[in-house]
Each structure stands twice: as structure tokens, then as C-alpha cells.
Chains A and B, each alone.
Chain A
Amino acid sequence: MRVIGHVAVNVFKESVRDKVLYSLVAFAALLIGVAYLIGQLTAGQDVKIIKDLGLAAIATFGLLIAVFIGIGLVWKEVDRRSIYSLLSKPIRRHEFILGKYAGLSLTLIVNVAIMTLAFYAVLAYMNTQFSEASRSVWPAPATDPGMLRAIGLIVVELLLVTAIALFFSTFSSPLLSAGLTFGLWVIGHFNADLRNFEAVVESKTAAYLARGLYYVLPNFAAFDIKTQVVNALPVAPSYLAATTAYGLVYISFLLVGAVVIFSRRDFK
């Protein structure tokens, strides 16, 4: 664990210096700019739009960081041969992979935490712009802590995307890894359609294949509860727990796969 933590801190340090956190400036600028514009253009729906946009922006910026750093995590070390010196030290290959994953996860969590603070700060400011009467008709307060449930699942989703990107980066080029990761992310958001495939096709083979893919491919749609929290609709704690557990189990399988592939790899 000590070695994994040591590698993770190094990944975090590299990511921070690689100007990854600049994305936060872009996020804050986007949110404040859009809040100002909406304030000028709409009436009554301002806070809801800011909530929708803020949560979507957190998910999108996180996704970009997860994919674009995740795909280069292992590939860059191999391509630039920095892995040669590292693996000659007392570190096992699985510790390297888990340390890399933990480091990027830490970077993502810090990013999401800072974006969340900025998000709530903008909402708190918006809250001061309305009268008590206007606020009373909102489905939820501007700074509703219930939105943290959606942000929590966004974090689990990003950790899963990172694990997918890391898995592909153990054996393929960044371009291919990016394509495969984005592909899985897109398919994963339409995963529910595969489950109901048998209703629209007659071939049993195709139906079984679709059902098999439904179980094998990650179900990213399950992590999206943004609409529910923005509209203050109930989300059962058991749903949050089950979805988080699903994400963690999927991540575990991907990390085991990444470790197995990486442990057998020759660095020519």
C-alpha cells in the first residue's frame, strides 16, 4: 500500500503541474458567464438552469480529464521509457498500475470537489438575487445539499471511465484507447436499449447477443440522476448504494484485467 500511495502522489503532482487544474478555471468561467447571461435572458428558471448546466459541466469536464489523462497514464511511461527506471526499483507491476489509477482518481476527486465548491458558490450568489416569494416556488433550495448525491454518482462514473481508459492504455495507443473509451461511454449511456432489444428483433440469437452485451458493457445511464436531484425527486439510498457497488465491482474487474495484461507485457 505504501508503494501504491507513493506512486499515486507522484501522478497527482504531475497532473497538477501538467496544468490539468486549468480546466477548473475554464469551468468557473463558463459557469459564471452562463449565470450572468441567463440572468439577463430568463425569468424564474435561472437557478434550475444553472443547476442543470453546472452538474452537466462537472460531468463533462471530469470525463475529459478522465479520458485524456487516463489513456496516457501507462502509454506515456512506456513510450518515453520512464518505466524502465521505475520498474527496476522495488515495485511490483500491479502496484504501478494501482498507484497510477489511485493518482488519477485523486486528481479527479480534487477537481470535482473544487468544481462543486465553485458550483455551490454561484448558486449561493444566485440565491441572493431572488426574493423570498420567488424562492418559495422552487422545487428545492438553490444550494440544495441533495445535489451532492448526483455529484457522488458522477465521481463513481468518472472513476469507472478512468479504469476503462487505464485498461485500454495498458495495451493500445492513446488514439485507440480514447476511441474505445469514448465508444464504451456512449454505448453505456444507451445500454438500457440493449436490454429491450428482443422486443424489436425476431432473431433469438441477436436478442441473446444484445442481452449478453447489456450485462457485459458498463451501464453509464445508471449513474445519471441529475434530473431527479435538480427537480427534488426522491432517489432511494438503496439505489445510490447499489449503483455505487456496481461501479466499484466493474472497476475492480477492469483493474484486475489491466494488471494481468500489464504484468505479462514486454517493454521492447
Chain B
Amino acid sequence: MAAIRTEALTKHYRVGFWRPRPYVALEGLTLSVSEGEVFGCLGPNGAGKTTTLKLLMQLIYPTSGSAEILGQPVGDVRMKRRIGYLPENPYFYDYLTAEELLQYFAGLFGYAPAERRRRAAALLDQVGIGAERRMQLRTFSKGMLQRVGIAQALINDPEVVFFDEPMSGLDPLGRREIRQVILQLRERGCTVFFSSHVLSDAEALCSRVAILASGRLAGVGRLTDLVAFQARGWELVVGGLDDAALAHAKMTQLVVRDTPLGDRRYALEVPLSVSPERAIAELTGRGASLVSINPLRETLEDYFVRQVAAAPHERGLGTGT
């Protein structure tokens, strides 16, 4: 069973006071996320990532389309007992302490007071909130609020967790700790759906990603399918290459880019149209020696930039795909 499923999920707003115009926040999003997957929803700012999450949390209602979580329609209270959610840049009640906030949220799940205290303490330990847990949240920094936000999302041992920009506001150490939290959730079999515009997070954590651009799905699939096998050429590191041999290789389009490494050693980029065997034979035939050869693969960033650039940028109606 799919943990998360959306079918042609669409959200339009009307913007402008005097002459309201339609604005496409999300158009026809169809996705399916399997149980146990760590799924990344990627896209530049304003792509529709947060809109998707808000629709899934029923903080906003769709213009059309539908969404289900764990086989239940979004908004079903029984389903909400089984999920967790971290909003983007979370903010909580100024005058509660971190442990009171977590106990308050735990109470909404019906846990007994002792169990609320136990869960709150364990999660605050997990996200690295120490003695500060007894301080009021209005004194917390952005990074500390983010940690509290992650803790509250996990208060009910959820089966599916939604994180909206979970690394936002965190220092490198904090980012690493949150990556660990997500990996632990994956090991536990929890489904994680997170939005991010930091591609390295997605590469480190996700089994599949969707790329949104201008409110539309620009690409979806396994990371390996999207980028790993789409080699764009080869990188040859050679030694003993003289200037004349390098000039000849460039003139005959055998090499499209060269990076001097010193002492007549070069990193050469050989295009995909040239077989690596031919390149090696020609270069060694002119006195060079092969040091190493590696395929040049497309990164997620390359794929992302290409998909986003290809997406239509108009957000009005009538430009949908």
C-alpha cells in the first residue's frame, strides 16, 4: 500500500484585490510514495513544495484532485494519530517551555501524563535540547526551535513523517544530527516525506525524489534512475602529455576540456561521443601515460537545474501541462 498518494492535486489562488487573477500554486500533482521510503520533494523557492505539504496536512483545501495518507483521506483524525509534521520555520507558544510544548502535543494524542513526560524527555534528548528544555520558547534561537519542531513531529512514534525544510536554520552539526534522525526513522521503517532546496540532503537521504517547478511536477523517480546512469562523458587523468599532443587532442574534439595538474599531468574531459578506448589509444600513442579514468556522471544538481529551466514560469491559468 502507498503511504502517501496524490491524484491530480491542484491548488489555485486568486491574487490581487481589485482585479483578482488566478495563480497556480500547484497543478495536477500525481505522486505515490511507498511505505518505508525516504522521499524528497525538491524545487526552488516558490515551486509548490510547501503548498503540497499544506494540502497533505489539510491546512489548505485543494481546488481539485485528492490526496490520501496511509489509505485514509487527508484530514481524517484517526490517520493523524499515525503521522508527524514539521512546518517550515516552525514557531510555537512563547510562554511554554520546550518540555511543556511536547507534553501538550502528546496530550492531544491521549497519552497519560507520565507517558507524556517520558516521550518529551526522550525526544528532547534525541534532538539535543538539554537544560534549555525548561526555558520558555520565546528565548529560543531559530535552530533550537527547529530542533523542538522535529521533536514535536515525532511525539507519537509516527508511521509517516512530513518535514518541510528540516535543515533550515541549523548549523552544520545540527544538519548532521537531523540527517541521523531521518536515517534512524528510515531504519525503523518509517516513511519520510521531506521538502528541501538543498540537493545534498536529498542525495544523502532519499531513495526517490520529485522535482517541482512553477507549481508543476518536473520530474520524479529514483535517484539512480534520474542521474547515476546518465554519464555525460569521461574524465581521463594522464601524465607526460606535451603541448602539441594536447593541442591536437583538442583540435580533433577528442578532448573538450583540460585542467592542468602540474608536471605535464592533466585532467581531460572526453565527450560521450568519443569512446574511452579510442581516447586512451590516441593519447598514449602521442607519448602520454594513463593515470586514471572515471565516468563523468550527471549530478542531481545538473538534473535539477535542467528540469527547473525547462519548466514553464508562467503561474496563471491556461499554461498547465
Q: Which residues of A contact B149 (CB under 8 A)?
A: 85
Assembly CA distance A264 to B60 (angstroms) = 9
Assembly CA distance A217 to B94 (angstroms) = 36
Number of contacting residues on A, CB 8 A?
Answer: 25
Do A81 and B80 touch (CB < 8 A)? no
Q: Which of B61, B84, B93, B107 contacts A88 (CB 8 A)?
A: B84
Assembly CA distance A17 to B97 (angstroms) = 11
Q: Which of B77, B90, B107 contacts A84 (CB 8 A)?
A: B90
Q: Which residues of B contact A267 (CB under 8 A)?
A: 54, 59-60
Assembly CA distance A98 to B13 (angstroms) = 29
Do B87 and A266 touch (CB < 8 A)? no
Q: Which residues of B contact A18 (CB under 8 A)?
A: 94-95
Among A6-14, A48-56, A173-181, which stretch is in contact with chain B?
A: A6-14
Do A85 and B85 touch (CB < 8 A)? yes
Assembly CA distance A114 to B247 (angstroms) = 92
Do B105 and A14 touch (CB < 8 A)? no
A204 at the interface (CB under 8 A from B): no
Q: Which residues of B contact A117 (CB under 8 A)?
A: none
Number of contacting residues on B, CB 8 A?
Answer: 36
Q: Mark A10-33, 1 if CB is under 8 A from B, else 0.
A: 100110011000000000000000
* A:179-229 near B, CB below 8 Å: none
Q: Which of A6, A85, A87, A268 contacts B90 (CB 8 A)?
A: A85
A234 at the interface (CB under 8 A from B): no
Q: Which residues of A contact B85 (CB under 8 A)?
A: 84-85, 88
Assembly CA distance A86 to B91 (angstroms) = 11
Do B60 and A90 touch (CB < 8 A)? no
Give B82 Cβ to nearest chain A Cβ, in Å: 9
Do A92 and B152 touch (CB < 8 A)? no
Do A84 and B80 touch (CB < 8 A)? no
Q: Which of A90, A266, A268 contacts B108 (CB 8 A)?
A: A90
Assembly CA distance A94 to B272 (angstroms) = 61
Q: Which residues of B contact A80 (CB under 8 A)?
A: 91
Give A212 Cβ to nearest chain B Cβ, in Å: 31
Q: Which of A81, A91, A266 contacts B60 (CB 8 A)?
A: A266
Residue of B whose beta carbon sits closest to that of A89? B108
Assembly CA distance A87 to B57 (angstroms) = 8
Residue of A whose beta carbon sits closest to that of B148? A85
Residue of B whose beta carbon sits closest to that of A6? B107
The 3 closest A-B pairs by CB, nearest first: A88-B85, A17-B95, A84-B87
15 further contact pairs, Cβ within 8 A, besides A10-B104, A85-B152, A91-B77: A6-B104, A13-B95, A18-B95, A81-B87, A84-B57, A84-B85, A85-B86, A86-B105, A88-B59, A88-B87, A89-B80, A89-B108, A91-B80, A91-B108, A264-B61
